[in-house]
Structure 1
Amino acid sequence: MTVQETITDCWNRIGVRGDHSCELLQQHIHCRNCGVYAHAAQLNLQRAVGDDYQRSWAEHFSQPAGGDVLHDSSGMVFRIGDEWLALPTSMFVLVAPQALPHRLPHRNARGLAGVVNVGGKLYPCIALADLLGIAAVQTTPRTGRHTFARLLLVQWEQQSYALPVSDLHGIVRYASATVQAPAATINKGLQRFLTGVISHDGMMIGCLDAGLLGHQFARSLR
């Protein structure tokens, strides 16, 4: 007699999947709490394994390793105007609500918007739109999702900076081998700060050069 013939699948007839006429339902509430159901599960796990089943899995595990690309990099993806951009996740310290920067007198370095209060501390605020030479205002309205303007607190060489962004997508993992060269149509101001472009969920995301951008951050404070 096979294991399948000894299993009593009463849950399909008089249990929760049947007509609920089982006398034990009042005690157990659900068939999964009943000893009959548990016993059936044990019998199912102890069933004999057929030759076809073993052969199928043997063939599966004997195949060469798949060609899946290793996702060895990750970046925090955000939007400035119409441009989706990313910086390495290792730079990020905190995501904070949007706040207006206070301008600093006699300081007009490119990209330096002033200082901003984050958690009771003042941080230099860098306007990436000015630094990268891109429009800060979105020209193509987005539909189907909410946008969340944020302040991204990043750190470069022990100095923290606040970056206002128009929208925050979140962390994206990607394979460095899949990074493409920036399109020739990208404006030169932005292009010089890019190490490449990745595609994710229909977005073309520019990967910013952390070293070059960090140098510009520090330069704005001199």
Structure 2
Amino acid sequence: MSEELLPPPENRQVESLLDRPYPEGYREEWIERIKNPPEEETRETVALLVFRLQDEWLALACPVVKEVCAEATVHRIPRRSNDVLRGVCNVRGELQLTVALQALLGLRDPKAEAASLSRRVYRRMILIGRDNNAFAFRVEEVYGVVHFELTQMQAVPVTVAKALATYTKGLFSLRGQQIGWLDDELIFHSLSNKIL
């Protein structure tokens, strides 16, 4: 081999470092790691739609949310409308029962404008459905869908208003705001009892 093809002397030191023998048991350790990789920790997450109802930030599980649409006109039902049942509204050509979720949750009118999680704030209607029951309700703002680990969910403190605490499964933080995760099963049960 000619001198031109040999690496310069300083690179020979690198070669000698890389060509040294493996430590004892090194190869067996890596064979074992490849044969039996460590089990990945599976974290149970839930997809939640986050929205603001008056000055409270709340969330519902995505499977019950059927649609988020522009605010629609609500038409009262004579002798049937009450604090919870507001009337009916048109969502994509279908009449939907419209409820005041804030009345069910016992929320009072806000004293001041709540902090927003997004730059633009648009009132929306959220259509929820389960077991052939569907209800629409107005919200002040929709943040969007978030995926949250169930292990990071916090318990509902005693200081939360009694009615709201009844319907809240847990709390989590998003951008410095406390979000209440609503128990959709209990909400549907209560709405069905109060309306249907």
TM range (shorter): 0.7 to 0.9
Distance 1:173 1:138 in 2: 30
Note if contact 2:90-2:96 (Cα within 8 Å) is conserved in structure 1.
Answer: yes
Distance 1:212 1:124 in 2: 18
Higher relative contact order (CA 8 A, sep 6+): 2
Flag structure 1 segments of 5+ consecutive residues without an equivalent. Answer: 3-49
Please give the root-mean-square deviation of Cα atoms over the aligned residues, in Å: 2.8
- Where does residue 121 of structure 1 map in the other structure? 94
Distance 2:109 2:99 in 1: 12
Normalised TM-score (structure 1): 0.67
Q: Which of 182, 187, 194 is 1:208 aligned to?
A: 182
Secondary structure of the corresponding residue to residue 78 of structure 2: coil
Measured against aligned partners, the alpha-carbon deviations of 1:93-141 in whole angstroms (never above 9, x if no partner) come to 1111001211111114441111111111110001111110113546235
Secondary structure of the corresponding residue to residue 104 of structure 2: helix
Secondary structure of the corresponding residue to residue 189 of structure 2: helix
Task: State the Cα distance separating 1:195 from its structure 2 match.
Answer: 0.8
> Is 2:68 aligned against 1:95?
yes
- Where does residue 132 of structure 2 map in the other structure? 158
Percent of counterpart pairs with the same letter?
29
Note if contact 1:81-1:138 (Cα within 8 Å) is conserved in structure 2.
Answer: no
AA aligned to 1:107 is R
- Where does residue 21 of structure 1 map in the other structure? none
Task: State the Cα distance separating 1:175 from its structure 2 match.
Answer: 1.0
4+ residue runs over 6 A deviation: 61-67
More strand by share: 2
Normalised TM-score (structure 2): 0.75
Distance 1:138 1:93, change over 3 A: farther
> Is 2:157 aligned against 1:183?
yes
- Where does residue 192 of structure 2 map in the other structure? 218
**Count of residue pairs brought into register by the alignment:** 168
Flag structure 2 segments of 5+ consecutive residues without an equivalent. Answer: 7-16, 19-25
